[in-house]
Structure 1
Amino acid sequence: MSDANRTRLAHVRETTLGTTPTTPRMRTARMTGEQIQFMPQTVQSNEMRSDRMNADPIQVNQTNQGAVNGELSYPVDNSPFSDWLESLFCQVWDNTPTFDNEGTADSVVTDAGTTTDTYVVASGGAAVVAGHLVRATGFTNAGNNQIFRAASSTGTTIVGSSLSLTAETAPPAAAKLKVVGFQGASGDLVAVADGITSTALDFTTLGLNVGSWIKIGGTATGDKFATAACNGWARITVIAAQKITLDNLPTGWTTDAGTGKTLKVWFGDQLKNGTDTIGQTLERGFLAQTTPTYLISRGMVAGQGEFRFESEQIATWSITFQGLTGEFTPTSLDASPDAATTNAIMAASVNVGRIAENGAILSDKNYIRSVTVSINNNLRNLGGIRSDGLVGPEDIGKGSADVTAQMETYFGSSTLLAKLFAQTVTNMNIRIAKDSQAMVWALPRLTYTDGSANATGKNTDVMLPLTATASIDELTSSHIMLDRLEYYE
């Protein structure tokens, strides 16, 4: 007997497409269901028989494809969902400097506090620069878990000021240091009409990206602008040494000298569509069976993805994979895969902080009831006559990266309809956040390509469903971008 509630989906990233790493570290995926099809493909013989009978069907290939569905939560780095997003975007995350023991104590982060105000890392510490905000988590001593402004660094050290650390010579498996933002010295960061300027801090050294979203201001009075309208979310359009130029500024944005303020600004990792082929091995374990069966699918590439934000519903996703080879076996690739992440599930309406079209929240009562963002990589299997004893395609080809946004809006005015007929170029961004973590989906260049307003029946609202199609945005060289902020205030 098999029970869906006893089905486990596990994942590992592949280095070579179609090849499962030796002794893989599998990670349990979160899902609401899956429709992966791993099965033989057969054809019928064309031989004619005088008794009108058929010979046995002949296997000619295998099918290895299908969707995994889930509810939206923060995509923790190296988790299945995070890797699947990379596969779908055909690009790896551009992460802020991160040092994570990730299951092995004293491996990447190797000391805290033995030297005053200092965390020690195995390598790469110089990527953290003075002014970065670093978040330390997972340490044994509670006081070592904090957010601090980096004062200096070397290849193996990250140094703050007055951190009051307790010595830990072998930080635990969960110990992690990650850059989550930057902070200016007192009075250094100033709000100007179109961005933020500095005198001492060099913005070009911080690892910022054009097109990235930032959250301006901390929770403490001294860490945010005195003018409330200058604290909030904005997008970076230009990065210069002493100025970041911004658009999508908070409503009411104005100038603020930042006098006496040690302003905190939060930013995170960024993902945008690219050209890489990123595969993974997926293992489905049917654990309710007396002897569990494990179905293993290799070379699985995310070909299509849908992300749905609907009023009064949980935000959901569906990712469809296309793969190469597979097998079924009574033995798991990893008998003890890593546990699934536990980050909170997010809902539309409650957790969506902003949906903006052309840089502003829709007006004239053209309220948005739902948005679905879709990505289609137009994958195709490349098959030949294999000589390695395996059954299945040998490679996967990619077509264009087709990105669309489908919106259901109330027909409050002709504003959006006019853009449809005029083929007006626009853009869209969706911010969803919970528990001090956020994702910002951005489609920087869109054109409305479909839509019609209709009165469908008595006692109903007239809706204007719209489809917008993405094209290349010259500023960001992308169709779609996703920012994730592991922490913000």
Structure 2
Amino acid sequence: MTSSNRVRLTGVAEQTFGTTPNTPRMRTQRVTSIGLSKKTTYADPNVIRADRMNGDPIPVGQSNDGNIGIEWHFPPAGSLLRSEIQSAFCAAFVETPSRDNDGTADSVITDIGTVANAITFTTGAAFVVGHLILNTGFGVAGNNGLFPVTTGGATSLVSTGAFTTPETAPPATARTKVVGFQGTSGDIAATATGLSSTTLNFTTLGLAVGQWIKIGGTGSAFRFATSACNVWARIAATPTATALKLDNLPPSWTTDTGTGKTIRVFFGDMIKNGVDKYGITCERGYMGQTVPTYIAQNGMRVNTLEFGGQAKGVATGSIAFVGMKGTVTTTSLDASPDAEPSEADYQTLAFSAHCGRVGYGGAALGSPNWAKAIKFTINNNLRPIEATSDGDSTAPGPVDVQDGSFDVAVELDTFFGSKAVLDDIENGIARAINTRLYRDKRAMIWEAPRITPREGDPTVGGKNQDVMLPVRGTASYDSVTGAQLILNLLEYAEE
């Protein structure tokens, strides 16, 4: 017998769509259900027999598809969930510069502190002056934490007054990641339209329209004296050297010169929907068997992806795939796959407890139209491409998986406290809808920047019940952000 508690799901991003990498490094995924399917398709013979009996069914091809259920957590770099998000968005994350030894000591980050205040590493995206880095996993406690970059570079960086104890061979867990930026004393100010600087150049930091930021760090030295300026906001226009225009600012936003403050601002990785093809090879391992069976499926693209939840509920979702080919063997693609993201380090997110905002039309939904539930659904309208021959008679599956339109549906359930949202439905007024979940100093922000509410009517289910307004809308192209759906992932932010 095989127990569901002993089934393992692993996967790897394909460098070439439809081709499983050689000796793949598989990643285990946290799931609540596995409904993947590899099926041989049969046709019945139509031969007429005098004895009224039938011949054997004829195998004519193969299909690979299905879905998985998940509880949402922050998807760390390299995780299978992050690869699935890229497949769903048909785009890659635009990531802040980072270096990661990723399991092999002294491989990417090769030294810290031997040269005073410096980290050396292999070449990659450059760190620049003003970047705020987060160091984790170093062997010396004092080498971990937040540090401002005072001298940048592609193979080294300097943070003055830091890294006092050298590590000549940083451990396998060592990681350096840009999580924000920091001005010098008195340099960053809050203006009527966002942030300004005198010395720090906003155009060099990797900031983009549609990116969410958190202004203000922990401790009075790193935040504005005016509490209304230490908030979450969205970049609303291409940065200039000295100005960062913001929207989604609260009504209490005001100006503050930042005198004597080294203001910290946090930002992270961002993905917008695109047109690129990202495939995944998935493998189910039935580990409870004496000799485990492994079912691998390649060329798996994410067709639909859901993210959402309701008040006092876990953030849940499902991911449905359309793929190419599958095999059944007793040999795993990777006998020792990477473990799934630790539940202790990457805890499940929940609405109410970890939801800092549900935004509608640039403002947070609140009294009297509080949000009770929200869900975003991506549909790529994928279709398998079948051919008479694909050169592999042993596993004649689809030769490609083609996409259709990128459809985004948003479901927003609000308490019917006024007719403000209902008016938008009646008049077809497009609004932005977003939600932010924050836990353990990590943030995930989903946003459809232009949603037209198409359906919604106040419902009365019976006595002693709240009247709800279930809003149903679809996303369209937003000229400001150039996207229909945006996901921001902040690996570290201080509230």
Query: Which of the five TM-score ranges fits, normalised by the shorter chain?
Result: over 0.9
Contact in 2 for aligned 1:231/1:250 (Cα 8 Å): no
Pairwise CA distance, 1:363: 4.3
Task: Give yes or no for the alignment of 1:417 onto 2:416.
Answer: no
> Residue deviations 1:293-348, cap 9 Å, x none?
00101110001011112111110121101100010100111111011112111101
Partner of residue 356 from structure 2, selected from 353, 358, 363: 353
The one of 381, 388, 396 aligned to 2:392: 388
The answer to whether the 8 A contact 1:109-1:122 is kept is yes
Count of matched residue positions in the alignment of Structure 1 and Structure 2:
488
C-alpha displacement at 1:155, in angstroms? 2.9
Task: Tell me which residue corresponds to 2:26.
Answer: 26
1:191 to 2:190 alignment: yes
Aligned-partner Cα distance in 1 for 2:243–2:210 = 15
CA contact (8 A) 2:372 2:413 kept: yes
The SS at the match of 2:464 is: coil
Comparing 297-306 with 11-20, greater Cα deviation is found at 11-20
Q: Is the 8 A contact 2:127 2:154 kept in 1?
A: no
1:375 to 358, 374, 378: 378
Q: C-alpha offsets along residues 184-243 of structure 1, whole Å, 9 cap, x if unaligned?
A: 000000101110000001100000011100000001101000000000100001211100
Shift of 1:364: 5.0
Pairing 1:94-173 to 2, within 5 Å after superposition: 94-124=94-124, 127-173=126-172
C-alpha separation in 2, matches of 1:90 and 1:465: 29
Structure 2 distance, partners of 1:51, 1:456, is: 61
Aligned to 2:330: 330
One-letter amino acid matched to 1:231: N
Question: Within 2, Cα distance between the matches of 1:146 and 1:215?
Answer: 18
SS in 1 for 2:83: helix
Deviation of the 1:24 alpha carbon:
0.7
Q: Shift in Å at residue 12 of structure 1?
A: 0.8
Give distance in 2, aligned partners of 1:59 and 1:393: 14
Matched, 1:464 2:469: yes
- In the alignment, is the contact (CA less than 8 A) between 1:364 and 1:413 conserved in 2? no
- Deviations 1:78-135 (CA, angstroms, capped at 9, x unpaired): 100011000000001000001011111111111111110000011126x111110011
Contact 2:45 2:54 in 1 (8 A): yes
**1:31 offset after TM fit, Å?**
0.7
The answer as to whether partners of 1:106 and 1:172 remain within 8 angstroms in 2 is yes
**Residue pairs, 1:224-235, within 5 angstroms:** 224-235=223-234
- Paired residues for 1:37-76 under 5 Å: 37-76=37-76
Q: Is the Cα contact below 8 Å between 2:250 and 2:363 reproduced in 1?
A: no
List structure 1 segments (4+ residues) > 4 angstroms apart after TM superposition. Answer: none
Give the alignment of 1:470-485 within 5 angstroms.
470-485=475-490
Match of 1:252 in 2: 252
The CA distance in 2 between the partners of 1:57 and 1:412, in whole Å, is 61
Of the structure 1 ranges 155-164 and 286-295, higher mean CA displacement relative to structure 2 is found in 155-164
Contact 2:118 2:163 survives alignment (8 Å): no
Give the share of equivalent positions with the same residue, in percent.
Answer: 47
* Secondary structure of 1:240's aligned partner: coil
* TM-score w.r.t. length of structure 1: 0.98
Secondary structure, in 3 states, of the residue corresponding to 1:416?
A: helix
Amino acid at match of 1:49: R
Bigger CA drift: 159-168 or 362-371? Answer: 362-371
Structure 2 Cα separation of the partners of residues 478 and 92 of structure 1? 14
> Structure 1: 5+ residue runs without aligned partners?
none
Query: Which residue of 2 is the match for residue 402 of structure 1?
Result: 407
Once the two structures are superposed, the pairs formed by residues 286-365 of structure 1 within 5 Å of their partners are 286-342=286-342, 343-363=346-366, 365=368
Aligned partners of 1:225 and 1:261 also within 8 Å: yes
Unmatched segments (≥5 aa) in structure 2: none
SS in 1 for 2:84: helix
Match of 1:7 in 2: 7
* Cα offset, 1:458, TM superposition: 2.9
Q: Secondary structure at the match of 2:85?
A: helix
1:439 is aligned to 444
CA distance in 1, matches of 2:313, 2:136: 32
Q: What is the SS of the residue equivalent to 1:404?
A: strand
How far residue 388 of structure 1 moved from its aligned partner, in angstroms, is 3.0
With normalisation by structure 2, the TM-score equals 0.97
Look up the match of 1:265: 265
Contact 2:67 2:318 in 1 (8 A): yes
Shift of 1:461: 2.3
CA distance in 2, matches of 1:334, 1:43: 35
Whole-angstrom distance in 1 between the partners of 2:255 and 2:415: 36
What are the Cα deviations for residues 124-173 of structure 1, in whole angstroms up to 9, with x where unaligned? 26x11111001111111111112110011233111110004311111111
Amino acid at match of 1:37: S
Helix, strand or coil for the counterpart of 2:405? coil
Amino acid at match of 1:257: T
CA distance in 1, matches of 2:420, 2:260: 44
Give the superposition deviation at 1:459. Answer: 2.6
**Cα displacement (A) at 1:366:** 1.8
What is the distance in 1 between the residues matched to 2:356 and 2:183? 26
CA distance in 2, matches of 1:190, 1:16: 47
Q: Is the 8 A contact 2:128 2:149 kept in 1?
A: yes
